[in-house]
Structure 1
Amino acid sequence: MDRIILHSDLNNFYASVECLYNPAIRNKPVAVAGDIEKRHGIILAKNYIAKAYGVKTGDALWQARDKCPDIVFVPPSYDKYLNYSKMAREIYSDYTNQVESFGLDECWLDISNSTQLFGDGERVSNEIRQRIKDELGVTASVGVSYNKIFAKLGSDMKKPDATTIITKDNFKEKVWVLPANDLLYVGRATFSKLRKLNVHTIGDLAATNPKFLKQELGINGIMLWQFSNGLDQSKVSEINSYPAIKSIGNSTTLPYDVSIEEDVRITLYILCESVAERLRDSGFFANTVQIWLRDKNLFSCERQGKLLFPTCGSNELFEKAFSIYKANKPHFALRSIGVRACNLSVSSQRQLSCLGEFEIMVKKEKLEIAVDDIRRRFGHFSIQRASMLVNPVLSNLDPKTDHVIHPVSFLK
C-alpha cells in the first residue's frame, strides 16, 4: 500500500505572524527584514501584497523600496515564530506521531496509519488547513503524495491556503511539466548545469540516463533522478527525534568591512566563545576547527585545521581559528566571518593526557563553565574579555542569543 505523506507549508509565515500582531499593517505591503544598521538589511519574508510588486526574499531593502515605495519593513521576532511553529506542530501531532520539521514553517506528516481514524489524505489536509486558519490565524498550503519530495512539491504548487494531491497515476502530468529547479535540491548552480545539458524540466531530468547525471553532477545526480521519477523512499521522522549533530557553528555579518587584524581577532573570539558554550551545552568536544570568510566582493572560502586535543574551550578554538585566518588572509576586507567546530566527540571518547598543555586546557574549560553560569543569570554582556572593550562596535554582538534559526536539511 502506498504511503500517505503530507507536507504543510505555512504561507508567508514571518510576515503573516507580524500582521497578526499589528492589524494596522494587514492590508499593506509588508516585509520582514534584517537590521540595515548591522548590514543584515535584506528581505527575509514578505506578504502577498508586497510579492505582487515583485519584492523577493533576499532583496536588499533599497531594492524592495524601489519596487514598492509604500512597503512597510518590520524586524524579525523569532520568539513569536518559534511559538507559532510549536502550535502548528501540536495540531499536526493530533493526526500522527510522525511529524518532521523542515524549518519553522514547514513539516512533513506520515498519516499512513491514521486514515481509518481521520480519513484520507485530502480530508486530513483540508481539516488541518482549516484548524490552522481558525486556531492560529494564518494559512497553510498542503501537498499530499506517496513520498516526501512530491508532497513538498505539491505544497508549493498552489498558494495560499490550498491542497494539492500528487499520485502515482498523475505525477507525470502534474510534475514532469514543471521547471527542474522546482525540485528540492535543484538550486541555481545545479539548474545552470542542467540547462547546459538541455535538461529544463523535471520530466527532462527523469528521462536522462542516471549514469550520465552521476558523471556530470556526482552522486547528487542519481538522487535527483530518483526524486524526479517519484522513487524517494525517505521516512518521515517521529516527533521529537533529531538528526545527529555533526558540527556546531556561528557566523556573523560585520557592521563594517574589516581588514585590521585586531578587528578580526575580536570577532573570532566572540564567535569561538559562542561555539564553545554551545559545545558544552550539548556535551561535545571539537577535534577540528573550520572558519568561513566572505570578503566585500562576496567571494567566500572555507578552511579548517585539526586541534592537538579535543576541546570545548574557546581559547583553543580561537587560537586554531586565528592561525587558519593568518595562513589564508584574504586580499580584500572581510564582510562576514564564521567559525565551526567539527569532527565532534563526546566526553567518554576524550583521551586524557599527562601533558601540561592538556591540564591547563581543562582548567580553562572549568573557568568557562563558570562564565556560562554568570551569563545565564545576568546576561551575555555581564562578563567580557578586556580585549572586547577596544572596539565596542564589533564587540556588541551576542551570537548565541542572536543566532538565526535556519531550515533543517532534508539530507540528514
Structure 2
Amino acid sequence: MKKLWHTWDRLGLVKQICIGLVVGIILAIAIPSVAKSFVILGSLFVGALKAIAPVLVFFLVMAAIAQHKSGHKTNIKSILVLYLMGTFLAGFIAVIASFMFPVTLTLAAGTEDLSAPGGVVEVLKTLLMSVVDNPVSAIADANYIGILAWAVLLGLALKSAPDTTKTAISNVSDAVTKIVTWVIKLAPFGIMGLVIEAITSSGLSALLGYGKLLAVLVGCMLFVALVVNPIIVYVCIRQNPYPLVFTCLRESGITGFFTRSSAANIPVNMRLCEKLGLNKDTYSVSIPLGGTINMAGAAVTISVLTLAAVHTLGITVDIPTAIMLSVLSAVCACGASGVAGGSLLLIPLAASLFGIPNEIAMQVVGVGFIVGVLQDSCETALNSSTDALFTAAAEFRERRKKEGKIEINHVL
C-alpha cells in the first residue's frame, strides 16, 4: 500500500487530477447509482478549501506586511493596473462578440423573487460596508474585502512589534499554509466527486437549448484567456507568453473550473505563485485582492447576457452606449464578489443602462442560472487563473527591467 501511495504521489497533481476526472466521468456514466456515494468527496474538498482560505489570507497578508522592510519593492500598483485593464478588455470583447453573434432569449417567469442591487452606488456601498465588517465575522463569512482590510491594518500596527511577535505570526502563517498543502493533495478525489455530482444531477441535456448563448459566453472567455491575456503578458515580459499562460490555466484554471469558487481557489493560486518563485510579500496581497476586483469572466457574463436581453427586446444600441456598457460591466464585475449571487445578480444594473425594466432583467438572471452549470465554471477558471497570471507578469516585468531579460522556462 505504501509503495502504491509513493507511485501515486510521484505522478504530480495535474496528472492525478486528470485521473480523478476520467474516473469520475466513467463512474457517473457507467454506474450512476454507485457513483453518487462518492459525491460527498467533492463537497468535503470544496468545504475544506473554503474553510481554510479566509484564515490563510488573513495570516499571510498580516505576516507579509508586519515583516515588510522599508525600501523592499512590491508590484501591487502594476498588478492593479493589469487587473483593471484585463477586466475592461474582457467586457469590451464580450460587447463586440455580442454584436457579431447576436443571441435572443426565450424569457420565462419565475424569477421575480430574486433581489438585485438597485444601482452602482449600492454596489459600492456594499463594498465599503464590507471593509468595516467585524474581523471575526469577515473570516467566518469569507468576506475577503473585510479580511484584507483588517489584515493590512493589523500588519501595519505590528510593524513595530518585537521580532518574537512577528516570528510567532509567521509561524502560524506557515502552519496554515501547510494545512492548505494537505488539502490540495486531496484535489483529485474532490474533483472526482464534483464531476460525478455534476453529471448525475444536471448532465448536459439541460444546456442544449441554450447552446448559442453558451457558445458566445464560453467563446469570449476562451478568447480572453488565449488571446487577450497573452497579449497583455507579452507587453509586460516581451517573451512568448503562452508557457506562463498555459501553466496558470493548467494549475489554477482546472481546479477553478470544478470548484466554481474563487475563494476556494485562493490557496491553489498561492501555491502556484510560490512554485513560480514570486515575491510572497506581493502575492499574499494580490491573489486575494484579485479574487475581488479581477473579474474578467464576470465582465463577459454581464455584457453578453445584458446584450442578449437587448437583442431579444429589439433595442437599438449605438457605439457610445456599447462602450459605456463595457465600462459599466467592468465596474459591476469588480463588485461581483461583494453581492450575493455573484455576477448574475449584477445584470440588472447593466440592463438599466438600456431602460430594461427589472422584471425582465431578472428573467435574464434566471436564464443565467440555467446555463450556470458551465458558464460559472468557465468564469471562475478565467478569473482565478488570471489572478496568478497577472501577478507573475508584473513581477517578471520588474525583473526584466532590472536584469535586461528573464528566463521564464526556468521557473515553469
Please report the TM-score for the alignment, with normalisation by the length of structure 2: 0.24
With a CA cutoff of 8 Å and minimum separation of 6, indicate the structure with the bigger relative contact order.
Answer: 2
Please report the TM-score for the alignment, with normalisation by the length of structure 1: 0.24
The structure with more radius of gyration: 1
